Amino acid sequence: MNEQDQYNKLTKEEERVIVYGGTEMPFSGEYYENFKGGTYVCRRCGKPLYRSGDKFESDCGWPSFDDEIEGAVRRFTDSDGVRTEIRCANCNAHLGHVFYGERLTQKNVRHCVNSISMRFIPEKE
């Protein structure tokens, strides 16, 4: 079985971001302004990544979280040698980047995540 066959089928744009490390346009993602209760899961494999309670408004153009679900995200030095790239720990899907020291929250960390890399599962009413 091909590695791609074990994951959700992706559109060309999803593949550009998730598989090849691209970035969606700022302020364009479907979850940028979503502050409903629920869980954000990896679009590629469906594993939970972030809880809505850790999402905050950073005005950066992408969904921002100051914490991840334990063990869900791996960090790598980006190819630019400066930023820290974040990927799904389960399937290695590119999520975005993590930044430290911006003092936007008490945790002092910002996961800047492409909406296209996630799906939102709302809390049950």
Q: Is 112 a catalytic residue?
A: yes
Task: Please give the Cα distance from 55 to 60 (Å, whole number).
Answer: 13
DSSP letter (8 states) at residue 30: T
Candidates 42, 88, 91, 112; catalytic one: 112
48, 39 Cβ separation under 8 angstroms: yes
Cα–Cα distances (Å) from 32 to 7, 28, 71, 85, in that order, read 24, 7, 23, 19
d(Cα 17, Cα 122) in Å, to the nearest integer?
Answer: 23
Taking CA atoms, 88 is separated from 45, 50, 59, 125, in Å, by 9, 11, 24, 28
* Active site amino acids: 112
